[in-house]
């Protein structure tokens, strides 16, 4: 009986919306890693819904549902079952302390990631948030209308119940993962620390089309409760590169798979909102190419391919790499050393409809160098190494201009041949260290000019008590 129930929970996500309906996870596509996916849709008088189910064979499942509300009276209900008669709820409070309590009937805490474990099954649940689309990849969260998730003991299982207020024009999001195996060991201090800082409630959210981050005031549209679809997907990057658990692998890969649908045909992820300062300074419209965001997630696809071997990830980073290479060749400032060595400083942004030349920031430049060299290590494609070497030379050719009088580093080389803007406290330092590490791996030595920048930034950080 328990084995049958476990198999049912693993392969089906059941919903209760006036009547209970189960979605079978038929194979829409499958790769050599036995990942299966299907998207189901339903239309009703009161709501429409779309659910994506992703199965990780012999590991567990991920699900994501969007419910679009067509009226403003009453509530939408949905539920599913978790086998077991006992269990625990774990979450991290606002002070990042781990809280573990026995499962009992009643509402679950709001605004935290919910970890439910029974002897038979394990689940991680997102909150029952609802949103309104503002356009340009931006959602407004209706946080005050969020209702708590309930859990109730039934005959041999726990029923998890979601409720959403019907607000016409809004949509609800629910997501989670499940497995009949433990996700992680939270008695391990390193794992507990990681999960205490993973944020999907305050500054970030997961939604039907990817990872969203709190919208800055400089973006249009924006709102104090707005989130925008960020191509960089910070959480997915952390899960893939440092997560070290089944849960991190499952959520991280699910986000990467969802994001494949957002890649432009040309091979890049757009920043969909308008950035007011980029618009004012460089006439860059909404829907632009940001080299750092794309380099970040491109590198994550590369690491995911090395880790899991899924050819979809390789296809993604190669397509993105081709677009970025073309950007490097066509949107660069050329400089020369006293010995006549050519260097390139690459512009941070681009818009397909054109814009004014824009700056080349040190951190964007370094991150692209690092990503290109990592691609070269895997693919042995000399184009990436050659572009990276030209970009390194571009930094070296104006080495002393990067160093400010106080030892900090300039943020960017500006289109008018000046240095400007304010550098991050430690991001560029970390990028420099990464470049040196890769160069040592490839060349057997670090770069002496870059090391001067490393030491200058480090001394400034130490004087100003910057933690890194």
pLDDT tens readout for residues 362-400: 999 999 999 999 999 999 999 999 999 999 999 999 999
Per-residue confidence band for 127, with pLDDT thresholds at 50, 70 and 90: very high
Q: Please provide the average confidence, as pLDDT, over all residues in the chain.
A: 93
Q: What percent of the chain has pLDDT over 70?
A: 93
115 DSSP β-pair partners: 90, 124
Q: What is the C-alpha end-to-end distance of the chain, expressed in Å?
A: 52
Average pLDDT over residues 244-254: 97
What is the location of CATH 1.50.10.20 in the chain?
Answer: 280-289+319-463
d(CA 247, CA 443): 37
Per-residue confidence band for 33, with pLDDT thresholds at 50, 70 and 90: low
Residues 265-311: pLDDT tens digits?
Answer: 999 999 999 999 999 999 999 999 999 999 999 999 999 999 999 99
The answer on pLDDT for 190 being more than 90 is yes
- Choose the weakest-confidence range: 33-37, 120-124, 310-314: 33-37
| Strand spans (E) along 240-292 | 270-271, 274-275, 288-290
Count CB-CB contacts under 10 A for residue 39: 13
pLDDT of residue 34: 62
d(CA 316, CA 302): 8
Q: What are phi and psi of 51, to 5 degrees?
A: -125, 135
Q: Helix %, strand %, coil % for the chain, to 5? A: 35, 30, 35
d(CA 122, CA 9): 10
Q: Are 192 and 98 in contact (CB under 8 A)?
A: yes
| Strand spans (E) along 312-357 | 332-336, 342-346, 349-350
**Tokens found for residue 157:** 């299982």
pLDDT of residue 58: 87
Per-residue confidence band for 24, with pLDDT thresholds at 50, 70 and 90: very low
Residues 326-349: pLDDT tens digits?
Answer: 999 999 999 999 999 999 999 999
d(CA 351, CA 347): 11
pLDDT of residue 35: 85
Q: Which fold has domain 280-289+319-463?
A: Glycosyltransferase (1.50.10)
The answer on pLDDT for 82 being more than 50 is yes
Q: 129, 130, 102, 96: which is closest to 117 by C-alpha?
A: 102
Average pLDDT over residues 4-24: 34
15 DSSP β-pair partners: 21
Per-residue confidence band for 468, with pLDDT thresholds at 50, 70 and 90: confident
**Which of the 8 DSSP states describes residue 444?**
S
pLDDT of residue 206: 99
Q: What percent of the chain has pLDDT over 90?
A: 92
pLDDT of residue 23: 28
Q: Helices 382-397 & 311-330, crossing angle to 10 degrees?
A: 40
Close Cβ partners of 93 (under 8 Å, ≥ 6 residues apart): 99, 112
Local structure of 228: helix, strand or coil: strand
Q: Are 59 and 71 in contact (CB under 8 A)?
A: no
- Dihedral of CA 10/5/43/78: which sign? negative
Triad 372, 376, 380: Cα angle to 5°: 155
d(CA 56, CA 247): 11
Residues 425-455: pLDDT tens digits?
Answer: 999 999 999 999 999 999 999 999 999 999 9
Burial of 441: CB neighbours in 10 Å, binned 0-12, 13-18, 19+: exposed
d(CA 294, CA 257): 16
Average pLDDT over residues 135-157: 97
Per-residue confidence band for 159, with pLDDT thresholds at 50, 70 and 90: very high
């Amino acid at each position: 009986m328990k084995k049958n129930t476990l198999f049912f929970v693993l392969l089906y996500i059941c919903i209760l919306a006036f009547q209970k309906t189960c979605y079978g996870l038929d194979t829409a596509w499958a790769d050599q890693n036995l990942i299966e996916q299907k998207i189901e849709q339903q239309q009703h008088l009161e709501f429409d819904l779309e659910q994506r189910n992703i199965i990780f064979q012999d590991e567990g499942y991920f699900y994501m549902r969007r419910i679009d509300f067509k009226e403003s009276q009453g509530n939408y209900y949905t539920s599913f079952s978790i086998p077991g008669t006992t269990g625990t709820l774990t979450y991290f409070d606002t002070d990042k302390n781990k809280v573990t309590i026995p499962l009992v009937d009643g509402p679950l805490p709001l605004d935290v990631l919910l970890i439910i474990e029974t002897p038979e099954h394990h689940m991680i649940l997102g909150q029952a948030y609802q949103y309104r689309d503002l356009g340009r990849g931006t959602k407004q969260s209706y946080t005050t209308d969020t209702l708590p998730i309930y859990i109730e003991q039934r005959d041999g299982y726990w029923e998890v119940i979601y409720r959403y207020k019907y607000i016409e024009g809004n949509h609800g999001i629910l997501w989670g993962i499940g497995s009949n195996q433990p996700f992680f060991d939270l008695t391990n201090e390193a794992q507990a620390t990681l999960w205490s800082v993973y944020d999907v409630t305050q500054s970030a959210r997961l939604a039907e089309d990817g990872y969203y981050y709190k919208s800055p005031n400089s973006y249009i549209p924006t709102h104090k409760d707005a989130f925008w679809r960020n191509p960089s997907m910070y959480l997915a990057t952390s899960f893939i590169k440092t997560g070290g658990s089944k849960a991190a692998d499952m959520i991280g890969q699910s986000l990467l798979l969802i994001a494949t649908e957002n890649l432009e045909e040309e091979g890049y992820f757009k920043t969909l909102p308008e950035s007011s300062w980029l618009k004012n300074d460089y006439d860059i419209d909404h829907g632009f190419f940001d080299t750092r965001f794309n380099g970040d997630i491109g590198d994550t696809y590369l690491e995911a391919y090395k880790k899991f071997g899924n050819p979809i990830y390789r296809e993604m980073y190669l397509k993105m790499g081709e677009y970025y290479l073309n950007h490097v060749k066509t949107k660069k400032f050329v400089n020369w050393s006293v010995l006549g060595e050519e260097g390139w400083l690459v512009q941070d942004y681009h818009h397909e409809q054109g814009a004014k030349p824009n700056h080349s920031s040190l951190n964007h430049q370094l991150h692209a160098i690092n990503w290109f060299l990592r691609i070269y290590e895997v693919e042995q494609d000399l184009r990436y190494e050659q572009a990276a070497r030209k970009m390194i030379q571009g930094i070296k050719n104006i080495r002393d201009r990067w160093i400010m009088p106080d030892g900090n580093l300039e943020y960017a080389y500006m289109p008018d041949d000046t240095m400007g803007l304010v550098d991050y406290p430690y991001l560029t330092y970390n990028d420099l260290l990464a470049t040196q590490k890769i160069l040592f791996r490839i060349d057997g030595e670090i770069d002496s000019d870059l090391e001067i920048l490393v030491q200058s930034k480090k001394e400034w950080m130490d004087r100003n008590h910057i933690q890194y």
